[in-house]
Amino acid sequence: MKFGKSGVLGLLTLLLLIGLGIFFSKNYFRLFSDDPMIVITNQVGDTANMGRASPKLNEQGMLLEVLGSKDSGCPPDTVLNEQQLLNLPQQTFKTSHTWSKEPQTFSGPLLEDVLKYVCPDKKFIKLHLRALDGYAIDLNFPAVQKYRPIVALTVNGEGMKIRDKGHLWVMAPLDDFNIPERSLDELLIWQLNQISVNLTE
Ligand SMILES: Nc1nc2c(c(=O)[nH]1)N[C@H]1C(S)=C(S)[C@@H](COP(=O)(O)O)O[C@H]1N2
Ligand SMILES: [Mo]
């Protein structure tokens, strides 16, 4: 069989394209396939499995409830106000993200620091984050350490109303990571109001 120069070139191009395809699809799915660090457990509108709304959160300035399971190293029920969140070391970063054309600057404490503050005796591994609209995810602690999400209190220096995805919006310095666009979006909960902390199973 004769195999001309252009045949060889065509074959090489085909191999290159297949290789690239495999490389990109692998990269895309790696985040969630090996070890699902982030799992959506409740879509907006699902009423099953809704966390109980804490009456304490209605009090002035009370923004975030942290529920500790038995032996998690966290008290059963802690309610944090804005000042307590502002008293923790503040992180500020500018990043592009899905919900804005221009990069924006986010400020707030690291989620990890919030957990350390509430649970000095840290033994937790599994987190369950929940928002006012019912959206919820399970999050493994390694994802928190890897992507360094903050509990943002301000965007471009301004506090957020509930209608602007406030009062608390989980945001990560996305531009620091070489990851596919939107691949961490499910971590970026807005209207965050409750964190449940569980000991590893
Ligand atoms: N409070 C809240 N945060 C949320 C969500 C939500 O429905 N409610 N959806 C999450 C998911 S799964 C993704 S992909 C993006 C979706 O944002 P979009 O609905 O604006 O596309 O936000 C994340 N944060
Ligand atoms: Mo999503």
pLDDT in tens, 1-52: 566 888 889 899 999 998 888 777 655 555 544 456 788 887 676 655 455 5
pLDDT value at residue 198: 87
**79: Cα within 13 Å, side-chain hemisphere:** 11
pTM for the whole thing? 0.80
Homologous superfamily assigned to 33-200: Oxidoreductase, molybdopterin-binding domain (3.90.420.10)
Give the HSE-up count for residue 155: Cα atoms under 13 Å, Cβ half-sphere. Answer: 21
Q: Please identify, by atom number, the ligand 1 atom nearest to the C-alpha of residue 133.
A: 1
Is 44 touching ligand 1 by the criterion CB < 6 Å? Answer: yes
Surrounding residues of ion ligand 2, Cβ less than 5 A: 186
- Give the model confidence (pLDDT) of 106-165 as tens digits: 999 999 999 999 998 766 678 999 999 999 999 988 899 999 999 999 999 999 999 999
Please give the distance, rounded to the nearest whole angstrom, from the Cα atom of residue 3 to the centre of ligand 1: 53
